[in-house]
Amino acid sequence: ETQVFQRGQFTFNRRFIETKFSPFFGVVRREADKDLELIVKAARGEFNVLRISRISSGDMHVEIHKGHASAEVAIPFGEIQEMKLKHKDAA
C-alpha cells in the first residue's frame, strides 16, 4: 500500500525522515525493503530516491538515477512538498 506524506499534515525534518524512511539509509537494503520506492516531490522537481546518503538539520542528500549514472542531490526540508513510499509494482 502506498503511503503519502504531505506538507501541512507532516513536518519534514531530520527526525521524521530518519524514523519513516530508515530503510533508505543503508548502502544495501534488507530483503524485505528492497522493493520499496521513495519519491520526493520538491520545489525543484520530483526525485525517485535510491538512498539517503546524508542528512542534517536543514536538508538531506539523496542518491538518484540520472541517465545511466547516479547523482547526489541536496534537498532542503523547506522545499519538500510531498514524500511517497510505495512498492515498485504499485500503480
Residue 91 pLDDT: 66
pLDDT-derived band at 48, boundaries 50, 70, 90: very high
Query: Is residue 33's pLDDT more than 90?
Result: no
Q: What is this structure's pTM?
A: 0.89
d(C-alpha 77, C-alpha 82), whole Å: 10
Find the mean pLDDT for residues 30-51.
92
Nearest CA to 85 among 23, 31, 36, 24? Answer: 36
